[in-house]
Amino acid sequence: MRVALIPPLHRLDDLKLTNYQLMLPYIDGLPTRRNPRYCDYYAAAVKRGDYVILDNGAAEGKMDDWQSLLNLAKYVGATEVILPDVIGDQAGTFRVASAAWHTRDSMLKYMYVAQGQTMGDVMLSIDEARQLSPYLAIGLPRHLLTTISFDARVQLVRWMNEAFSDRLNIHLLGTNRSWLQEVKYIQRVDRKKYIRGVDTSAPYCYAAFDADMTEDEIDRPDDYFHGEPDSDHWNRRADGQIRLFLEWADAPKLI
């Protein structure tokens, strides 16, 4: 699967390591559209031919209004936009996502985030997305590993492989500290290769704490985006963690 790295601001050059990106509309509560340097990096990725997804901000705690999100997508030239969602709420997600879908820009692609509190809820959410449009990518959020079960996304990918015969694009929205190696094992049940990619900041978070991704459980540091570790050790540690994660995901390596 492809990997979208979400680096701290001082490592934005790492976007060149893959050709799959996820851009955030807010960082630390501030709109990224007011950060020309950040926007320019993703616009440059678009020009390189990268697949650039624009997040809606819900998982970061601040969701942009739909029109502003579309404007940002057009400004940087994003490939795909994540429709609005309500974390943990299947019905609420369908309500806000369908409203946005009916006012979409037809020049862009879109992703529907499957939500719910139970496996049945999330399956229904996926069915609702398919009814809205069979061309929507399906986003599976990382919180499912905590709110439902540690292997929730594995179960869902297995079910989708059995339930659907036409082409699906699945994106794993984030990685969960409880099982970072999920990306390695989930591919074993994805017989039809529905999983397109995953986004993660884990290699940098673990480097910040000099921790091991195979053993420890680490949260993102409070100053994640703006902190600037300048030690050679930190940079070597981050580089090593990135290589390890790309290996787990069996991701194509550009550099």
| Residue 64 confidence (pLDDT) | 79
Residue 178: how many CB atoms within 10 A of its CB? 11
Structure tokens at 209: 């704490």
Question: Domain 2-249 belongs to what topology?
Answer: TIM Barrel (3.20.20)
Q: How far apart are CA 116 and CA 50, in angstroms?
A: 31
- pLDDT by residue, tens only, the chain of 255 residues: 999 999 999 999 999 999 999 999 998 888 999 999 999 999 999 999 999 999 999 887 788 799 999 999 999 999 999 999 999 999 999 999 999 999 999 999 999 999 999 999 999 999 999 999 999 999 999 999 999 999 999 999 999 999 999 889 999 999 999 999 999 999 999 999 999 999 999 999 998 888 889 877 888 888 888 876 668 888 899 999 999 999 999 987 665
Query: 51-54 and 109-113: which strand pairing?
Result: unpaired
- Domain boundaries defined on the chain: 2-249
Residue 224 has what pLDDT? 87
76 touches 37 (CB < 8 A): no
Tokens of 41: 């990096």
Ordered DSSP codes for 107-133? TSEEEEE---SSHHHHHHHHHHHHHH-
Structure tokens at 231: 């030690």
Could you tell me the pTM of the whole model? Answer: 0.95
Contacts of residue 122, defined as CB under 8 A and 6 or more positions apart, other chains included, come to 90, 114, 115, 116, 140, 144, 148, 152, 156
Q: What single letter denotes the amino acid at residue 128?
A: E
* DSSP strands (E only) in 93-249: 109-113, 137-141, 170-173, 195-200
Q: Is 213 helix (H, G, I), strand (E, B) or coil?
A: coil
Residue 95 CB neighbours (<10 A) = 13
